[in-house]
Structure 1
Amino acid sequence: MADQHTEEKFSETAWQASVDLPDFEPLKDNMKTDVVIVGGGITGITAAYLLVQEGLQVALVEAGKLLNGTTGHTTAKVTAQHGLIYDEFIQHLGKTNARLYYEANKEAMAFIRETIDTHGINCDFRTEDAYLYATTPKYKKKLEKEAAAYEKLNIDGGILEELPIDISVKNALVMKDQAQFHPLRYLAPLVKTIVDKGGRIFENTTAVHVERGEEPSVITRGDARVQAKYILSCSHFPFYEGTGFYFTRMHAERSYVVAIKPKMAYPGGMYISVDQPTRSLRSANIDGEALVLVGGEGHKTGQGIDTHDHYNALQTFGEDVLGIEKQVNRWSTQDLTTLDNLPYIGHLTSQSSEQNILVATGYRKWGMTNGTAAALLLKDLVLEKENRYTSLFTPSRFYADPSLKHFLRENFDVAKHLVEGKAETSNKEMKGLAKDEGAVVRIDGKRKGAYRDKDGELHVVDTTCTHVGCEVNWNGADRTWDCPCHGSRFSYSGEVIEGPAEKPLQKEYKVKLPSEGVFPSDG
């Protein structure tokens, strides 16, 4: 039987359901090129697009299908309004760096607009105002501080007492003239340009290691290698960390989206709450149907309540605000947050032996502009051009406040889950699993993960994450095993979906339950 994970890895997103992308063959033979890019999301594709236009030979390798990761699961807001961030940046990084962050994202927005105009791309690009809103007195004060930061940084926006949409708020903060689009329809023509200009794209090609040198090589799981002058790691989590120890400097967070056809007319605008749990709204036109994407419910990967409850909460919110005529799609996504909330973009490490290995990661759920800004910076680093954002985003930076505090907190959290996971008990029995149900079970006193698929077949794995040994937990909404320590995710049959883990979970056995529901003996 085919692995159901292949068929149901994630619920198909509204973007994926409305676009047909070309297929590309896996890399089978060794090759040499100027630049090899690992990762087929917005950063990797945009970087490849930019570099082929500079006359460089480029190869892009993607572990799965292009745009099937975070970019394919985004809410696709093209904005420099990234939550409550500018007051924090002024306090911890200084006014100059806070302004630089804003300008990097504003320039990324301008690049997207320009690219759309240049190629005449039909991707439902719309200029919209973006709103943060508070529903409690505590966050009302935080929004007032953020508004003061806007004023200090000359950001076009200001405090409002109410929203254009029917949500009761204490106050709101608008950032004028932001945008939204259909991300896959935007990126598909860039993929075509890459190929037309001689770029090579390889799907189902997993990069697992780097062989360093004057011209380093990317080694793939199939033992093929790509040698290049530069390696760009644009995968969600860096596939190769060198001595950067990125897994200790970022944490993974999941969030959820429900695409609905509303009963009420949508007034325009993009909205996101600053209170927790987060609530996000934007409109989308998918094949002529007016939809609204209701998002939020963020939590650390592998931690928290039953994941189905997050979708239910978003449905309730959508019903309360707009009414729901029907639900069209639902999906979840994952992104990484760095110690100081700035992305890591630039040289992988400060070591001279790794200066031709570049990385882009840690977008904190704002990948449309941050990912584009990353591609623009990576292009200049490859071409050895000056770029005023190099120091701001360099991965080797360290701001004592808040980086040290966050480093200690995140790694204490990892240690806690490492210990608690080993001690966790389960009373769930394998023979009691219903179809399409998964759970942590005990077999001969050992912690295992079991999932009974829709055909009644059991898939049993060892729940020890292959990264640093934390115990994974079951995600019923996505049918995955998720690690609470560093965000690695595995299919129900144990295959790696997202890193930093590189190896699959150990498979214990795979059997078909008899029709009477009695589980056969282990022997």
Structure 2
Amino acid sequence: MTQNPHVSDSYWLQTAPGGAPHPALEDDLDVDVAVIGGGIAGLCTAWELARAGRSVAVLEAGRIAASVTGHTTAKVTALHSLIYDKLRRTRGPEGARLYARSQTEAIERAAEIVDELGIDCDWETRSAYTYVCDAHRVEEVRAEAAAAKEAGLPALFVTETRLPYPVAGAVRVTGQAQFHPRKFLLALAEDLVRRGGRIFEQTTVHGLDEGEPCRVSTGTGATVTARDVVVATHYPIFDRALLFTRLSPRRELVVAGTVDAGRDPDGMYITPDENTRSVRTTPYGEDGGKRLLVITGEHFTPGTGDTRERFARLSAWAREHFPGVELTHAWATQDNDPTDTVPMVGPLHPGARHTYVATGFAGWGMSGGMMAGRLLARQITGEECAWSELYDPRRLRTAVREAPSFLKTQAEVARHFVGDRLRPAPPVDSLPPGEGALVRVGGERLAVYRDEAGALHAVSSRCTHLGCLVNFNAAERAWECPCHGSRFDTDGKVIQGPATRPLERRDI
């Protein structure tokens, strides 16, 4: 069997590297709105606000549209696996209708932006499918089709698709879309700057003073003063709202490879079977004879299990179900699942007056991020929005319904916080090149990585977010926190939050 493709940057990052980087923030700045985070939610919010006449600054710790948004599957759809039947039961028919309407309007807004700005981002209209191959789950899909149709989507239960293998049943929703997320967002960022917006990269935010005005302190030493602040860092970097107790991080793997254009399954597909499988294609090459098949699945909690085995399973599934596919790319993405299903977009906490948050998109950040941009812009500019209450992070009426998921999430965090400290530690000398492990050195448990040249890289094993112990992801060569999903490179530098400070270096 052909070896798995080497884990590297996503196809989206490789094919849209971007132009000159934006500068880091060096001097104090005064704006109407500071947006923390340069992914799809942050950039869409900033663009909508700039369009409304507000002065805006985007603060991004790395490069814009390069973190979670740069590794997405990039489906722009309102069909989010099996959600509408659950929403109908937990939020009522009106809640399900508001969810469908808000997500559909987000898709329409994205299409308007593509046309208005003339963005070449491989935008394609496609039908979206949620399917099952297990006949025992067909009734779930039938119920989902009925709930999605009742919510206002053009949904239909079908048993035939363009996939090269049979399905037991599927929900089909027409009029959805897919695109190249980097090309879209880099063009949006250019237009944001043309409208007077400011973008600062390599600018880590460390503090937030919620006064009037608010003040945001950064790792460069500069301060941004703003009337309003939006925290759009995927997983909130500030814990004052305790949103981390209502979010669970989920990592998924992606493999991609070329197929003949005639074998395009002509749709966007997802199934909860087999630990999730998601399928779509995107244009590839200039002659139109090939498509890039993008397959996602094998979701897991960061820092748990063998990621290399998971990549092997996903690659084997791709070759079995799409014979002849030549796998060329492999990467991973990360999402946050809210305990009550619905994203949290709105005021940061019950006492917030000028601070807002966007998080918990559960793998559907493309439509969710665009929805969040419109919703937050309306709230900041004082406009009414019909679905503000649905997404409000301060919602309390769902507290009882989300209690089982909440307790399960916290039990898992507690298990890692205590149990990971009891695991036996291997000796340093046993580490082969390219591997990492938690070892005891002088009474302290350290995270130690041995590079290919044999040199050891040692850092503190305590995540700088809330103190859980990190674990090593050998496929991606990163330290990951299983409690809240923070990720660090082998020298301790933050790759992904909510942590904002690196793991401390240690000498051994």
TM-score, normalization by structure 2: 0.94
Q: For residues 308-457 of structure 1, what are the structure 2 equivalents within 5 Å?
A: 308-351=308-351, 354-398=352-396, 399-427=398-426, 429-444=427-442, 446-457=444-455
Q: Which moved more, 1:462-471 or 1:89-98?
A: 462-471
**Secondary structure at the residue paired with 1:166?**
coil
| Unmatched tracts of structure 1, length 5 or more | 1-8, 510-521
How many angstroms apart in 1 are the aligned matches of 2:298 and 2:199? 35
Correspondence for 1:512: none
Contact 2:164 2:265 in 1 (8 A): no
- Matched length: 497
Contact 1:48 1:58 in 2 (8 A): yes
Deviations 1:214-271 (Å, cap 9, x if unpaired)? 11011112221100111011111122233x1111111100001111113672231111
Correspondence for 1:241: 239
CA apart distance, 1:302:
1.9
Q: For residues 145-164 of structure 1, what are the structure 2 equivalents within 5 Å?
A: 145-164=143-162
Contact 2:459 2:491 in 1 (8 A): yes
Contact 1:449 1:460 in 2 (8 A): yes
CA apart distance, 1:204:
0.1
How many angstroms apart in 1 are the aligned matches of 2:479 and 2:59? 25
How many angstroms apart in 2 are the aligned matches of 1:16 and 1:362? 23
RMSD over equivalenced CA pairs, Å: 1.7
How many angstroms apart in 1 are the aligned matches of 2:284 and 2:239? 38
Q: CA 1:488 to 1:417, structure 2 compared with 1: closer, same or farther past 3 Å?
A: same
- Aligned with 2:140 (options 139, 142, 148): 142
| Aligned partner letter, 1:13 | S
- Aligned with 1:260 (options 248, 257, 260): 257
Correspondence for 2:3: none
- Aligned with 1:78 (options 65, 76, 79): 76
CA apart distance, 1:325:
4.2
**Secondary structure at the residue paired with 1:334?**
strand
Q: Which moved more, 1:333-342 or 1:46-55?
A: 46-55
How many angstroms apart in 2 are the aligned matches of 1:430 and 1:95? 58
How many angstroms apart in 2 are the aligned matches of 1:446 and 1:234? 35
| Aligned partner letter, 2:429 | K
Contact 2:417 2:483 in 1 (8 A): yes
Deviations 1:54-82 (Å, cap 9, x if unpaired)? 22111111000111111100010010010
Contact 2:76 2:107 in 1 (8 A): yes
Q: Which moved more, 1:336-345 or 1:155-164?
A: 155-164
Alignment of 1:464 onto 2:462: yes
CA apart distance, 1:401:
4.2
Contact 1:241 1:348 in 2 (8 A): no
Deviations 1:300-349 (Å, cap 9, x if unpaired)? 2222x200122111111111121244222111011111121111101101
Deviations 1:423-444 (Å, cap 9, x if unpaired)? 01133x3223232222223334
**Secondary structure at the residue paired with 2:501?**
coil
Q: CA 1:153 to 1:54, structure 2 compared with 1: closer, same or farther past 3 Å?
A: closer
How many angstroms apart in 1 are the aligned matches of 2:464 and 2:265? 48
How many angstroms apart in 1 are the aligned matches of 2:7 and 2:366? 20
Correspondence for 1:301: 302
How many angstroms apart in 2 are the aligned matches of 1:403 and 1:466? 28
| Aligned partner letter, 2:410 | N
Q: Which moved more, 1:386-395 or 1:438-447?
A: 438-447
| Aligned partner letter, 1:12 | D
Q: Which moved more, 1:120-129 or 1:320-329?
A: 320-329
CA apart distance, 1:21:
1.5
| Aligned partner letter, 2:129 | Y
Deviations 1:461-494 (Å, cap 9, x if unpaired)? 2212222222111111111111111111111111
Correspondence for 1:6: none
Correspondence for 1:50: 48
Deviations 1:2-52 (Å, cap 9, x if unpaired)? xxxxxxx97211111111323111001111011111111111111111111
| Aligned partner letter, 2:298 | E
Contact 1:92 1:401 in 2 (8 A): no
CA apart distance, 1:504:
1.9
Correspondence for 2:17: 20
**Secondary structure at the residue paired with 1:104?**
helix
- Aligned with 1:110 (options 103, 108, 111): 108
Q: For residues 121-200 of structure 1, what are the structure 2 equivalents within 5 Å?
A: 121-200=119-198
Alignment of 1:100 onto 2:98: yes
| Aligned partner letter, 2:498 | P
Q: Which moved more, 1:151-160 or 1:78-87?
A: 151-160
Correspondence for 1:292: 293
CA apart distance, 1:373:
0.2
Contact 1:18 1:286 in 2 (8 A): no
How many angstroms apart in 2 are the aligned matches of 1:375 and 1:150? 24
CA apart distance, 1:287:
4.5
Contact 1:318 1:324 in 2 (8 A): no
Correspondence for 2:489: 491
Contact 1:108 1:369 in 2 (8 A): yes
Residue identity over aligned pairs, in percent, reads 36
TM-score, normalization by structure 1: 0.92
